[in-house]
Homo-oligomer: A and B are copies of this chain.
């Protein structure tokens, strides 16, 4: 197979389809989403059989149980895929929205129209549900999508892709609006991320290794999500009850997500009040604590935190704790060791809350609430394609709007420039 020629063809088809998708009306897009969902429900047995074959191949190849777990579909996850598509159909269509139309002194009227980005390449690992999810988000935002899933999920992805194509076609939309790359050759990824003429943006979804590799080689812009080293800072003017509740939730509600707290910062004036009851909660839940010297003076069973701990994204029941002297030291710590993902302050002090919001350079800054809120559903985006730790284009949870851009609209009546 000539991978370059194959990918060029995929790219050309996507570009052509993207023009039709940009013009597609809301009703056709919603109809396609609902038809995809219906096809997935109807073909559930087929999808599960394809997935069973992927799993058998993966077991034969010796994949570990975490990988197999991510790869595996069941009747409930298949139904959830369909339901996700129906939910995307209920979201407002971002495309074509015109805002800020203002008259200028020259008499022209100028504003902005929200438009699709064009062609979006999604690269992900062995989670077949991403196929349906990404297809739905790209479709609703008026884009064409090229999907490249992990090779372990190829049969599952192809079965899902058939449902997606059926949905597109039944609504009169081009089937090439969502293309799943049919080869597992890695060279296809190399082509995808460098076809600037056909691909407008790449969204990698997966582990940090995948994202770093893609970012290093891409010529197409990448919306990337690297580390989530999130902090909660408990100020000396925090309400202790809120502080303990939020610090507990931010760490223990779930350990794996990127918006889970990894380092707790506590003001030295309240460390002796806050840390003992909080440590007890963590101990009861089996969280390993690693602290600075001042922390260990209060929590005697905490392990020694090293410099690496302040940079660590554990994604596990481990927490680093540091006692700081004031807000400035907390902000310095976050801006030095953090990953500009999500950071929270717990305080009743207005000025310190305001400074934290302004001075912490992270994609989400939070006062008196858990870092776990930082996602597209909680923020009201309806769905998210990922969380961006980049600074340009989109920061934080990226929903339908993040898959669009704005062009300028000018209305005149024969106006010329003088």
Contacts and interface: CB of A to CB of B under 8 A. Distances in A.
A415 B373 contact: yes
A365 to B, nearest CB: 6
B380 A417 contact: no
B414 A102 contact: no
A104 interface: yes
Contacts of A369: 108, 410-416
B370 A391 contact: no
A307 interface: no
A117 interface: yes
Contact of A405 (B223, B392, B413): B392
Contacts of A106: 373, 378
Interface residues of A, number: 71
A99 to B, nearest CB: 12
Nearest to A406: B395
Contacts of A245: 414, 416
B411 A407 contact: no
A200 B391 contact: yes
Given A373-B108, A414-B245, A364 B221 contact: no
Interface stretch (A40-48, A81-89, A267-275, A354-362): A354-362
B253 A379 contact: no
Nearest to A368: B412
Question: Helix, strand, loop or mixed for chain A's interface?
Answer: mixed
A118 interface: yes
A175 B249 CA distance: 43
A140 interface: no
A298 to B, nearest CB: 23
A248 B417 CA distance: 11
A239, A245, A365: residue with the most chain B Cβ atoms closer than 10 Å: A365
A225 to B, nearest CB: 14
9 contacts: A96-B358, A118-B391, A200-B391, A201-B392, A245-B416, A365-B408, A365-B409, A369-B411, A378-B417
Given A200-B392, A369-B410, A373-B417, 15 more contacts: A23-B358, A108-B373, A110-B373, A117-B391, A200-B391, A363-B408, A364-B409, A367-B412, A369-B411, A370-B412, A372-B417, A373-B410, A373-B415, A378-B417, A393-B393
Interface of A: 19, 22-23, 96, 102, 104, 106, 108, 110, 113, 115, 117-118, 200-201, 216, 219, 221, 223, 239, 241-242, 245-246, 248-250, 253, 335, 344, 346, 357-359, 361-370, 372-374, 378-380, 390-393, 395-397, 405-418
Pairs A-B, 10 closest by C-beta atoms: A369-B412, A242-B414, A249-B416, A372-B417, A369-B415, A366-B410, A393-B393, A364-B408, A392-B393, A368-B412
